[in-house]
A and B are shown apart, each in its own frame.
Chain A
């Protein structure tokens, strides 16, 4: 159990060593205790709580007669609310694809060609401040009379057909999650020796072949991790469909969850949506961490 190997010069010191060992162990428990208590009380217990609540009917959890246990909420998720689940998955998948298409070349150029990386980092901080500001800003840009309206007039399309549409939602989501993709792909690419590409070129490979036969296989883990991370972050999308989407995109699970739970107090259904979101997020994050080989602890 000891952290560092102890070298015992004499047999006699063993009891003292054991005593110190025990007090060190107690200290360790006390030091990590607050953190464990925090996540236990404010993450794991609430999550168990909503799993339990998702098995009760509507707001029967509060009724004096006691909660009515039912699976109806889960039946509704694959029945009446299946479109909501599918829209959420569709939005996340599209954001992931957009990020991959634009993020891979971006990460490549950033790692191989760009010397002003700190400037790029400073710019890339902006999406981190939150999807709310991105959605707000894009809504302003796309509104009739906004900065983009001359462009729309030129192209002869109505502002609102772009503003309240799937592409604008996906675009805002992609901006928000873009840094995650670049981070993962960039980390994978910086581990690939540039001489491998030069060797491929010297051996007569065309750029496209170098890409598909050398770069892509070598960075697959990072790319997959980035895609999964983007997907996991996009699954709880909230502000973008609300501010930029049509009725269809506003069916996204997180927003529906808020309306059913907080506005209409249908706790059973709302927590069920929470559990579904949670399952998606966990599966995706687990796979992502497995691929990215979290190197912080070992």
Chain B
């Protein structure tokens, strides 16, 4: 891996005369390799983007995106409703849970944390089939949007929990102690002291949960109530049944751009510190 740390002396002497040393070639090749992989990463997106701008005769057309605002707007609205409700529930559940995990010590804490983050490791299809059967036979949640929302919450809640736990662990307990000594109630301490200080962690959780839930099609495919089709599920259905259409590509591109916008906004405001231990470096 470490190319050419020291070459045999004669070779080094010869290479001194050339403008480009072997080391530089290796360096250029390494960067080229990085960029090649990165281009492969975005290639499916770029191809869809180009396709979404193609009209019926192969000419440039922006009309496809009017479908996104038109006949797909219902799907987008459902997506945002589901994401919004999911994020609120995620936050309400994860904040107190993270507090207990960081500030309390009790036997079996590690096990409990693993049990809470386990949904991350269950394949989507398994979550889907188990929830759809339980909704049908036991919970009777198949016809409301809440069934879908709760399925999203259980899948995305660990993503919210982990960055908040990281942020709370980094927060020295002295702030909370000082606040309580000065007479603040626990709730005041939380809202005025702790919450602002763990803000970046909370935002990281919100961002991760947003991009996962917003693009989730698999669990949705199993548990979506009749009449409710989120935008990614619509993409899936259209690709499966209608073949490839520029309008479908336009919807997929829109969803990815919205997700990417959320990520970029987060990077810009908070950086990447609080994403440690989650998906991103």
A residues adjacent to B (C-beta < 8 A): 1-4, 28, 30-32, 34-36, 38-39, 42-43, 45-47, 49-50, 53, 61-62, 102, 105-106, 108-110, 113-114, 117-118, 120-130, 132-141, 143, 146-147, 175, 178-180, 182-183, 186-187, 197-198, 200-202, 207, 210-211, 215, 232, 235-236, 238-239, 242-243, 253-255, 257-258, 261-262, 267, 270-271, 274, 277-278, 281-282, 285, 289, 294-298
Contact = CB atoms under 8 A, between A and B. Distances in A.
B154 A278 contact: no
Interface in B204-235: 211-212, 215-218, 221-222, 232, 235
12 contacts: A35-B93, A46-B127, A106-B33, A123-B41, A125-B263, A175-B41, A179-B280, A182-B281, A200-B2, A238-B124, A277-B123, A295-B277
A132 B280 contact: no
B129 A271 contact: yes
Given A125-B280, A126-B260, A127-B41, A232 B96 contact: no
B65 interface: no
**Category for how many chain B residues contact A:** 35 or more
Interface stretch (B12-20, B45-53, B74-82): B45-53
A83 to B, nearest CB: 18
B41 A183 contact: no
Contacts of B34: 106, 109-110, 114, 120
A135 to B, nearest CB: 8
Contacts, number: 290
- By secondary structure, the A interface counts as helix
A224 B29 CA distance: 27
Interface of B: 1-6, 27, 30-31, 33-34, 37-38, 40-45, 47-48, 50-51, 92-94, 96-97, 99-101, 103-106, 109-110, 112-116, 118-119, 121-134, 137-138, 150-151, 153-154, 157, 161-162, 165-166, 169, 173, 211-212, 215-218, 221-222, 232, 235-236, 239-240, 244, 248-249, 252, 255-256, 259-260, 263-264, 267, 272, 277, 279-281
A201 B1 CA distance: 11
